[in-house]
């Protein structure tokens, strides 16, 4: 029994000590860990439980006590929870420069002596300080810092880097109404802001001292030219609450609020040009690390069936800022303007994801067709080398349909057919017997009609055959007619997609390209906007109309990545319809 009670007492004592260690805190904190020999610092010893007594300050050797100790008590009730803080504050002035450690202070709580943490302080030579070091504006400047940091200062053209803006602050001050007064413009960079999660204060080191900080902004930057590029500063106006060093009747610290202007300072990066040595001929500006994938939805099909050839580039780097490879399709295959798909996210390493073009291809004739391999090259900043990727050739096997042989080599055998139950079957000619009067047949009407029928049907058949061959051979004309229909179809689809940003701008862009394809008889997806302008100008289209058309085309490209409203989409649709009507009227 005695042994059992002994174990119970030990257990209760352990629980009591554990609860004591978890609940009671006695900490020491200085206003700055680094200061000049002509500056001052504040050290504050804090307990979080009522009942602590007999505070014993440490030995402040190497420091002169300018003021203190001053004691304050703060107690509050929030949502049913009680918060208590008691502090002892000293103002110290260093006697000499060097690295010093302020020893632990001690206090008694529940009959136990508890010690605080020790604090290290680095004292340097004299620094420039204002006449009044207690000036609130000076204190605000010394305790809050707006800092910009760049992940890499010597990237290549097209290499992704990021800039991060942080607001560092010490526990000696508070701040309110922090507002941006100037946001930087990243001239010479393609840029994209990185979304931030919920703002939470974190702890980090700045200039050798520990501060709390908030991350205000992050942005990915991709330089577009070589040389020295500047990142303009970010600026903020902040209302700062500064302690005055005085206390009210209840021991609460008195503070004063001052408006302060902060700037992160101008940053710069030295951008390197891409090396010329080893630069592939097909290089289009891809920088990063990529993969190339080309596939067909089906490789065996019938004439007039469609297949999709998908060209996909995936990886991390400057996606969206280079051209992905295009396929070369034999003239016997009908190919439509590719559908662009993008799955890209913004990360600290750059743009990550994939971009693909999906080509719809329709064969008109039976046979085997080879879509040649394509190549893609990119520059990897990590190994500083160019890399070449190659695809396999794609063979399309068209198993059924008209052949490509000429009419002179084609033998046509006519066979009589009949229909029964919706199916055709051949009739044996030896089972047919015509009952023609023997006596009156020669030189009769039947005789002359049967004699003329072959001469009448042959020219009609030749005319019909020629017309069909002409229509079938007019691949270009068929493409134009189909493109005209597709332009109307996609314009109608864009109207249906009003309110759906992605679907609307994809459909509108396709309508523009199919309209030009039908009117100018060209593949507009393969040429630049300058070439489109030149072709329209050659057809005597007015410059204002051309500029309006290119404006709509550019809006389709950029609006998918910027905020857009339904009203803006409706205006874009009306603008597109109007400019297509103008081009149709002005084309010569």
Enter the DSSP assignment of 38: T
Taking domain 288-398, whether its CATH number is 2.60.40.740 is answered by: yes
Which CATH architecture does the domain made up of 475-586 adopt? Up-down Bundle (1.20)
Q: How many helical (H) and strand (E) elements, i.e. helices and strands, does the chain have?
A: 8, 32
Q: How confident is the model at residue 405 (pLDDT cuts 50, 70, 90)?
A: low
**Hunting for tokens 């592939």 — which residue is that?**
280
* pLDDT per position as a tens digit, 37-46: 888 888 888 8
CATH for 20-124 is 2.60.40.10
Mean of all residue pLDDT scores within the chain: 78
Please state which of the ranges 330-344, 349-363, 443-457, 489-503 shows the lowest mean pLDDT: 443-457
* pLDDT per position as a tens digit, 139-153: 888 888 999 999 999
pLDDT at residue 404 in the model? 60
Q: Do domains 20-124 and 288-398 have the same CATH topology?
A: yes
pLDDT at residue 314 in the model? 94
pLDDT at residue 157 in the model? 93
The structural domains of the chain, with segments of one domain joined by +, span 20-124, 136-271, 288-398, 475-586
End-to-end CA distance of the chain: 113
Would the pLDDT of 241 be above 60? Answer: yes
Would the pLDDT of 413 be above 50? Answer: no
CA distances from 305 to 311, 318, 335, 420 (A): 20, 37, 12, 29
* pLDDT per position as a tens digit, 500-536: 777 888 888 888 777 777 777 666 555 677 778 888 8
pLDDT at residue 18 in the model? 42
Q: How confident is the model at residue 385 (pLDDT cuts 50, 70, 90)?
A: very high
* More reliable by pLDDT, 91 or 50: 91
* More reliable by pLDDT, 358 or 550: 358
Q: Which long-range contacts (CB under 8 A, 24 or more apart) does 274-281 make?
A: 274/156, 274/157, 274/158, 274/379, 275/379, 275/384, 278/385, 278/386, 279/386, 280/375, 280/377, 280/386, 280/388
Would the pLDDT of 107 be above 80? Answer: yes
* More reliable by pLDDT, 12 or 62: 62
Among 374, 370, 360, 373, smallest CA distance to 308 is for 360
Q: How confident is the model at residue 113 (pLDDT cuts 50, 70, 90)?
A: confident
Would the pLDDT of 426 be above 50? Answer: no
Phi, psi of 60 (to 5 degrees): -90, 55
Going across the sheet that includes 174-182, the strands are 174-182, 235-247, 253-263
pLDDT at residue 11 in the model? 46
Enter the DSSP assignment of 358: E
Q: What is the mean pLDDT of residues 395-421?
A: 54
* More reliable by pLDDT, 330 or 75: 330
Q: What is the mean pLDDT of residues 307-335?
A: 90
pLDDT at residue 586 in the model? 80
Q: How confident is the model at residue 541 (pLDDT cuts 50, 70, 90)?
A: confident
Tokens standing for residue 566: 């339904």
Q: What does the chain come to in residues?
A: 588
Q: 248: burial class by Cβ within 10 Å (0-12, 13-18, 19+)?
A: exposed
pLDDT at residue 336 in the model? 87
Would the pLDDT of 190 be above 70? Answer: yes
Among 404, 398, 373, smallest CA distance to 307 is for 398
* pLDDT per position as a tens digit, 255-305: 778 888 888 888 899 999 999 998 998 899 999 999 999 999 998 888 888
């Amino acid at each position: 029994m005695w042994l059992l009670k002994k174990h119970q007492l030990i257990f209760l004592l352990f629980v009591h000590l554990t609860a004591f260690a978890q609940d009671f805190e006695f900490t020491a904190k200085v206003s700055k860990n680094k200061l000049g020999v002509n500056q001052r610092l504040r050290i504050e010893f804090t307990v979080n439980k009522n009942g602590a007594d007999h505070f014993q300050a440490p030995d402040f050797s190497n420091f002169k006590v300018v003021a203190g100790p001053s004691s304050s008590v703060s107690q509050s009730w929030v949502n049913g929870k009680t918060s208590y803080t008691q502090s002892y504050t000293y103002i110290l002035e260093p006697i000499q420069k060097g690295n010093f450690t302020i020893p632990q202070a001690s206090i008694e709580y529940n009959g136990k002596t508890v010690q605080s943490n020790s604090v290290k302080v680095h004292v340097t030579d004299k620094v420039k300080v204002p006449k009044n070091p207690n000036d609130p504006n000076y204190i605000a400047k010394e305790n809050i810092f707006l800092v910009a940091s760049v992940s890499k200062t010597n990237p290549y053209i097209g290499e992704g880097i990021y800039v991060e803006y942080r607001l560092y602050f010490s526990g000696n001050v508070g701040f309110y109404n922090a507002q941006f007064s100037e946001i930087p413009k990243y001239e010479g960079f393609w840029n994209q802001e990185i979304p931030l999660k919920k703002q939470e204060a974190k702890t980090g080191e700045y200039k050798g001292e520990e501060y709390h900080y908030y991350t205000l902004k992050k942005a990915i930057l991709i330089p577009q030219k070589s040389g020295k590029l500047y990142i303009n500063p970010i600026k903020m106006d902040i209302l700062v609450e500064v302690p005055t060093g005085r206390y009210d009747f209840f021991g609460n610290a008195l503070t004063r609020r001052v408006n302060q202007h902060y700037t992160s300072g101008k940053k710069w990066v030295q951008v390197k040009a891409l090396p010329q040595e080893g630069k592939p001929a097909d290089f289009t500006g891809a920088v990063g690390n990529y993969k190339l994938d080309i596939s067909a939805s089906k490789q065996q099909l019938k004439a007039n069936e469609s297949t999709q050839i998908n060209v996909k580039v995936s990886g991390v780097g400057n996606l969206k800022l280079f051209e992905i490879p295009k396929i070369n399709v034999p003239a016997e295959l009908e190919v439509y303007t590719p559908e662009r798909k993008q799955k890209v996210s913004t990360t600290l390493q750059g743009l990550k994801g994939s971009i693909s073009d999906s080509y719809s291809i329709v064969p008109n004739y039976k046979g085997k067709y080879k879509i040649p391999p394509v190549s893609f090259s990119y520059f990897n900043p990590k190994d500083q080398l160019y890399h070449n990727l190659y695809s396999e050739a794609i063979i399309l096997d068209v198993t059924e349909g008209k052949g490509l042989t000429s009419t002179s080599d084609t033998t046509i055998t006519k066979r009589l057919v009949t229909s029964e139950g919706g199916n055709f079957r051949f009739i044996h000619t030896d089972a047919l017997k015509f009952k023609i009067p023997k006596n009156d047949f020669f030189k009769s009407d039947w005789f002359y009609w049967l004699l003329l029928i072959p001469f009448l049907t042959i020219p009609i058949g030749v005319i019909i055959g020629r017309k069909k061959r002409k229509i079938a051979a007019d691949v270009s004309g068929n493409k134009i007619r189909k493109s005209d229909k597709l332009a109307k179809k996609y314009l109608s689809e864009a109207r249906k997609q009003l309110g759906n940003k992605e679907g609307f701008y994809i459909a509108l862009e396709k309508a523009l390209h199919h309209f030009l394809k039908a009117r100018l008889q060209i593949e507009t997806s393969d040429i630049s906007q300058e070439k489109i302008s030149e072709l329209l100008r050659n057809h005597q289209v007015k410059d204002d109309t051309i500029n309006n058309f290119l404006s709509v085309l550019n809006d389709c490209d950029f609006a998918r990545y910027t905020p857009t409203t339904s009203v803006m989409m409706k205006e874009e649709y009306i603008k597109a319809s109007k400019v297509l009507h103008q081009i149709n009227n002005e084309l010569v």
